[in-house]
């Protein structure tokens, strides 16, 4: 009865870039602070503690005439089945009629939003001259946190990566991180070469795994955690 758009993961990946996402997430935080947006109570359910859970986050963006929800499930065993741990769906509706406007795949949006949120935290809470970023957890979210933080913090020289469960995974993460970051920068290669070149310099830094979380914490200017613990 109501026409609405459906955007799959590939379309979202083509449409959404990190710099835009940071701007939009910051705008949403401001709208919330100015009471131009409201959140509805969150629904959280653990199917199996530490292994599988889901949450529904929802709210209204007054002024934009929309309300919506995002249902995100996190199934920790999924990677062993070659599936992503986080699976999400976003539904956006018209707040004047209640009619649906669109349904979107939520995985990429979730990773982008969460990376953007971490970097906004760093932008406002960390020292401008911060040089050492510590990433705790070396899973899927890590690359999004790093690229967003490097966009907001221009003096980062080293990213230390800690994984409590597997040093090897942190090591592998560090070896492959630049390719992932380049992937997240790809949209700018044709759209904004100056920004792309600037970001190429920012990712040309040291990525180092560590087993010593105490020392890494003491040396860190910014700590971002991306773990289920």
Ligand X SMILES: NC(=O)c1ccc[n+]([C@@H]2O[C@H](COP(=O)([O-])OP(=O)(O)OC[C@H]3O[C@@H](n4cnc5c(N)ncnc54)[C@H](O)[C@@H]3O)[C@@H](O)[C@H]2O)c1
Nearer to ligand X, 22 or 188 (CB): 22
d(CA 158, CA 112): 22
Buried b / exposed e along 125-139 (16+ C-beta atoms within 10 A): ebeeebebbbbbbbb
Q: Which is nearer to ligand X, 118 or 187 (CB)?
A: 118
The active-site residue out of 30, 57, 70, 180 is: 70
Least Å distance, CB 196 to ligand X, is: 25
Q: Is residue 207 a contact residue for ligand X (CB under 6 A)?
A: no
Return the residue of 16, 18, 37, 85 that touches ligand X, per CB under 6 A.
85
- 137 contributes a contact to ligand X by CB under 6 A: yes
Rounded to the nearest 10 degrees, the angle between the axes of helix 193-203 and helix 167-191 is: 160
**What's the min distance (Å) between Cβ of 193 and ligand X?**
31
CA atoms of 162 and 213, how far apart (whole Å): 7
Other C-beta atoms lying within 10 Å of the C-beta of residue 5: 11
Contacts of 155 (CB under 8 A, 6+ apart): 128, 129, 130, 131
Joined together, the tokens standing for residue 124 give 């406002």
Task: Answer yes or no whether residue 115 interacts with ligand X by CB under 6 A.
Answer: no
Interaction residues for ligand X, span 25-44 (CB under 6 A): none
Q: Considering only 2-10, 89-97, 157-165, 216-224, which stretch makes contact with ligand X by CB under 6 A?
A: 157-165
Alpha helices in the chain (DSSP H): 9-15, 18-33, 107-125, 141-152, 167-191, 193-203, 213-219
Count residues binding ligand X (CB under 6 A): 22
Chosen residue from 13, 21, 110, 171 binding ligand X by CB under 6 A: 110
Determine which residue in the list 90, 116, 133, 141 makes contact with ligand X, applying CB under 6 A.
Answer: 141
**Closest CB to ligand X among residues 191, 225:** 225
- Answer yes or no whether residue 136 interacts with ligand X by CB under 6 A: yes
The verdict on whether 81 is a catalytic residue reads no
By CB under 6 A, tell whether 83 contacts ligand X. no
Tokens of 38: 């409201």
Question: Residue for token digits 């690359």?
Answer: 143
176 binds ligand X (CB under 6 A): no
In angstroms, what is the minimal distance from the CB of 114 to ligand X? 4
Give the residue ranges of DSSP H helices in 73-157.
Answer: 107-125, 141-152
d(CA 93, CA 229): 33
Q: Is 229 in the site for ligand X (CB under 6 A)?
A: yes
Q: Which residues are catalytic?
A: 70
Binding stretches for ligand X (CB under 6 A): 74, 76, 85-86, 110, 114, 136-141, 162-166, 169, 226-229
């Amino acid at each position: 009865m109501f026409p609405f758009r459906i955007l799959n993961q590939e379309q979202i990946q083509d449409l959404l870039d990190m710099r835009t996402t940071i701007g939009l997430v910051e705008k949403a935080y401001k709208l919330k602070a100015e009471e131009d947006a409201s959140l509805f109570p969150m629904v959280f359910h653990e199917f199996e503690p530490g292994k599988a859970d889901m949450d529904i986050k929802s709210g209204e963006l007054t002024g934009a005439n929309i309300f919506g929800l995002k249902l995100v499930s996190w199934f920790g065993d999924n990677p062993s089945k070659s599936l992503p741990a986080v699976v999400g769906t976003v539904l956006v509706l018209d707040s004047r009629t209640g009619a649906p406007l669109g349904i979107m795949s939520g995985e990429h949006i979730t990773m982008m939003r969460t990376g953007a949120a971490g970097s906004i935290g760093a932008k406002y809470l960390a020292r401008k001259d911060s040089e050492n970023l510590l990433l705790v957890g070396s899973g899927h979210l890590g690359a999004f946190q790093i690229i967003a933080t490097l966009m907001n913090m221009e003096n980062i020289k080293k990213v230390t990566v800690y994984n409590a469960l597997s040093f090897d995974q942190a090591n592998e993460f560090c070896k492959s991180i630049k390719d992932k970051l380049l992937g997240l920068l790809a949209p700018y290669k044709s759209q904004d070469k100056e920004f792309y070149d600037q970001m190429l310099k920012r990712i040309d830094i040291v990525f180092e795994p560590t087993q010593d979380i105490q020392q890494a914490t003491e040396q860190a200017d910014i700590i971002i955690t991306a773990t289920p613990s």
